[in-house]
Amino acid sequence: MSGETVLERETVYRGSLLSLLRYRVSLEGRRLLREVIEHPGAVAVIPVSDDGKIIMVRQHRLPAGRTLLEIPAGTKKAGEEDEECARRELLEETGYVARFLRKVWSFYPAPGYSTERITLFLAKGLEKVGQRLDEDEAIEVVEIPLGKALEMLGSGLVEDAKTLIGLCWLALELARRWERLGTNTHIFQH
For every residue of 17-54, DSSP letters joined together read S-EEEEEEEEETTEEEEEEEEE---EEEEEEB-TTSEE
In this model, does residue 188 exceed pLDDT 70?
Answer: no
CA distances (Å), origin 24, targets 2, 112, 189? 16, 15, 55
Residue 189: per-residue pLDDT: 42
**Residue 67 — very low, low, confident or very high, per pLDDT cuts 50/70/90?**
very high
Contacts of 77 (CB under 8 A, 6+ apart): 40, 85
Locate CATH 3.90.79.10 in the chain.
Answer: 42-180
Residue 136: per-residue pLDDT: 81
Residues labelled as active-site residues: 135
Separation between Cα atoms, residue 172 and residue 70, nearest integer Å: 19
Residue 122: per-residue pLDDT: 97
Each residue of 1-32: pLDDT tens digit? Answer: 568 999 999 999 999 999 999 999 999 999 99
Separation between Cα atoms, residue 8 and residue 35, nearest integer Å: 12
**Residue 190 — very low, low, confident or very high, per pLDDT cuts 50/70/90?**
very low
Residue 176: per-residue pLDDT: 85
Average pLDDT of the chain? 92
Each residue of 71-89: pLDDT tens digit? Answer: 999 999 999 999 999 999 9
> Residue 20's Cα: distance from chain center in Å?
21
- Measured from the Cβ of residue 184, the count of other Cβ atoms closer than 10 Å reads 5
Handedness of CA 102, 139, 188, 126 (dihedral sign): positive
Which among 167, 159, 165 is positioned nearest to 58, based on CA atoms?
159
Instruction: Check if the beta carbon of residue 97 is closer than 8 Å to that of residue 126.
Output: yes
Residue 72: per-residue pLDDT: 98
For the ranges 4-13, 45-54, 169-178, which has the lowest average pLDDT?
169-178
- Measured from the Cβ of residue 61, the count of other Cβ atoms closer than 10 Å reads 12
The architecture CATH gives domain 42-180? Alpha-Beta Complex (3.90)
